[in-house]
Structure 1
Amino acid sequence: MNSVFPNTIYAIQHLSFEDLGSLEDLFYQLGFRVRYFEAGVDDLTQAMQHTGLTIILGGPIGVYETEDYPFLQQEIDLLKVRLENNLPTLGICLGAQLIAHALGAKVYAGAVKEIGWSPLTLSNQTNHLLAPLEDSPVLHWHGDTFDLPKNAVLLASSALYPNQAFSIGSHILALQFHIEVANESLEKWLIGHTCELRNANINIPALRLDNEKFAPTLENKASQIITQWMATLTNA
């Protein structure tokens, strides 16, 4: 690890059980410490001004709900400055939507909720960061989507939504899908999101079986992807 690159990773949570999942142990193995910030409770200034990696995690609210959740506006304003300074940033689900919004792209409710396991279609690139996910189902859990920001490189699409992942240079990565999920903790998602699941007519036992079937493989592939990306960041 580059001695100049900070060894603490900051993670911003919007929901207590949507944490770093399988990535947390990976970061420890790579020699990093992890510190969480709770959006809506903690002041996010330190996390957003961090010169090392800051990860913005998922949650059930929309980036456009600033009237109901005023803290979002501060988060967006801080994120805009962070991205302008090209500081290392990973956004997952809501985090990806926040990045897109902060970069000037439109974020809006999609036609249907995308909840469950399905594969991605990767864009045609050499040395594709997400190559381990080729033909491998990932967990989607969102109702909102976004337009691709200016100067962004599209990395992946799904059958329902064209913009599932993008990057800006080597330091900014946005993933609409949940690369971080850990098999051992997905029951918390089924409990915590029960209202959303029932309103979307999701078969919970079937989703649980898919979690058990696909999550272990995703954990392994997520480790490959994030290890490669971290090597790019720390050796820059």
Structure 2
Amino acid sequence: MRIHFLQHEDFEHPAYLGEWMGERGHGAATTRADREESFPELVDFDMLVILGGLASVYEVQDRPGVRREMAFIRRAVEAGKYVLGFCFGAQLLSASLGGEVTAMDHPEIGWHEVRLTQGARSSERFKYFPERFIAPVWHGDMFSIPPNALRTISGEYCPNQGYMLGDRVFGFQVLLHMTPANLEEFIGVIGEPVPGPNVQAPEEVRSGLRHVDDVNRLLAAFLDGIASGGQGS
């Protein structure tokens, strides 16, 4: 499988996704969207992965470079490519598909329990996911579920943690690709979390890494299902 990444920050890189690709022998290329690099031809990749970023979508989506990126994302969706967005990437994907991104009353940072919706439990794509699991999150904005899409993951503090459009387009607010090293990169760039509503203390965020292998395995099973060519619901 040929995977193409849209990257927006140095520290918002593929993380565990890179490990998964290396283990499975998949090819990859990257466009630095923040540097307005050229986008690839649609025939050059099978899966598009939109990575995170520090910006708020509603503050940047009218910029010419971001508008070009959103148009490219729409073309990939319309061409039937697999398209995955993580965190800011899921928010940008939602906005590209007619959804809306808004600020939350309080940011959500740490390891929180999330749950699958009935729609996700009925999908072959999520068959390896438990109904409830602990996942890492680090965001202050929330996407709406795009038109014709289904909510897949929900949480206590943020009801929209994931969505799917058909069988090939998926948005994840949860950071299933987080690794211990990547968490330290987050803290190094953004700073230590300041405890508050929905925000865990730094020591609690780091101790949550005991869950990281579990969420990485969920992502691996999800991606393996796509790469195998299996058809979802």
* TM-score (normalizing by structure 2): 0.86
CA-based RMSD of the aligned residues comes to 2.5
Aligned to 1:4: none
Percent of pairs identical after alignment? 23
Single out whichever of 41-50 and 87-96 deviates more from structure 2. Answer: 41-50
Residue 180 (1) aligns with residue 177 (2): yes
Asked if 1:168 is matched to 2:165, the reply is: yes
CA distance 1:203–1:47, change in 2 (3 Å): farther
Q: List runs of 5+ in structure 2 lacking aligned partners.
A: none
**Gapped regions of structure 1 (runs ≥ 5):** 1-6
Q: Does structure 2 retain, via aligned residues, the 8 Å contact 1:120–1:133?
A: no
CA distance in 2, matches of 1:45, 1:18: 18
Q: Which portions of structure 1, spanning 4 or more consecutive aligned residues, are displaced by more than 6 angstroms?
A: none
Deviations 1:163-221 (A, max 9, x none): 111111111111111111112432111111107x349665212211222x221222222
Which residue does the alignment assign to 1:152? 149
**Contact 1:117–1:210 at 8 Å: present in 2 too?**
yes
1:60-209 mapped onto 2 (5 Å cutoff) = 60-66=54-60, 70-124=64-118, 125-127=121-123, 129-130=125-126, 131-194=128-191, 197-198=193-194, 202-209=200-207
Count of residues paired in the alignment: 227
* Structure 1, 92-101 or 19-28: larger mean CA deviation: 19-28
After superposition, the Cα gap between the structure-2 partners of 1:53 and 1:76, relative to the gap in structure 1 and judged at 3 Å, is same
**Structure 1 CA distance, aligned partners of 2:38 and 2:159?**
31
What are the Cα deviations for residues 36-87 of structure 1, in whole angstroms up to 9, with x where unaligned?
Answer: 2212214242176744111000111011222795422221122222223332
Q: Which residue of 2 aligns with 1:19?
A: 13
Letter in 1 for 2:74: K
1:37 and 1:234 mapped to 2: Cα distance?
Answer: 28
Counterpart Cα distance in 2 of 1:105 and 1:183: 32
> Which moved further from structure 2: 216-225 or 155-164?
216-225
Distance 2:47 2:31 in 1: 13
> Given that residues 63 and 72 in structure 1 are in contact (C-alpha distance below 8 angstroms), is that contact kept between their aligned partners in structure 2?
no
Rate the CA distance shift 1:164–1:47 in 2: closer, same or farther, 3 A: farther
69-78 or 144-153, which deviates more: 69-78
CA distance, structure 2, for counterparts of residue 159 and residue 31 of structure 1: 37
Q: Distance in 2 between matches of 1:72 and 1:151?
A: 23
The CA distance in 2 between the partners of 1:18 and 1:184, in whole Å, is 12
Q: Residues 185 and 104 of structure 1: is their aligned pair in 2 closer, same or farther, counting only changes over 3 Å?
A: closer
Separation (CA, whole Å) in 2 of partners of 1:47 and 1:66: 24
Task: Tell me, in whole angstroms, the C-alpha distance in 2 between the residues paired with 1:202 and 1:178.
Answer: 16
Q: Please give the per-residue CA displacement for 1:97-142, whole angstroms capped at 9, x wherever unaligned.
A: 1111111111111121111101212111324533424332111111
Tell me the TM-score normalized by structure 1. 0.85
